[in-house]
Amino acid sequence: MLRKPFSDVVVGERVTFDNGYYMTGHVTRNLGTHNGKKMAMFFDESLNRERLIDYAAHRSVKVENA
């Protein structure tokens, strides 16, 4: 897995948040940014459902291509 800023994550990439949300899943839609946070629809594998998240765009996440 590699790390990159959340602002660079694209739809379909498998992401692990290890600081804040502590979850793994994949981004299903990018919704934009607001006040320095990227908003996206995220499929949470542990809950087996999609949810809206906002996360600081500059913070890094672990990424594995889908």
Q: Do the beta carbons of residue 9 and residue 17 sit within 8 Å?
A: no
- pLDDT at residue number 20: 84
Instruction: Give yes or no for a contact between 15 and 9, defined as CB atoms under 8 angstroms apart.
Output: yes
Instruction: Give CA–CA dist 52/26, Å, rounded.
Output: 12
CATH number at residue 7: 2.30.30.30
**Which pLDDT score, from 0 to 100, does residue 2 have?**
93
* Segments in the chain below pLDDT 70: 65-66
pTM score of the predicted model: 0.86
Q: Which two tokens stand for residue 25?
A: 């899943």
Instruction: Name the residue range of residue 55's domain.
Output: 2-64
Interatomic CA distance for residues 38 and 20, integer angstroms: 14
The structural domain count of the chain equals 1
Q: What is the pLDDT of residue 1?
A: 77
The pLDDT score that the predictor gives to residue 66 is: 52
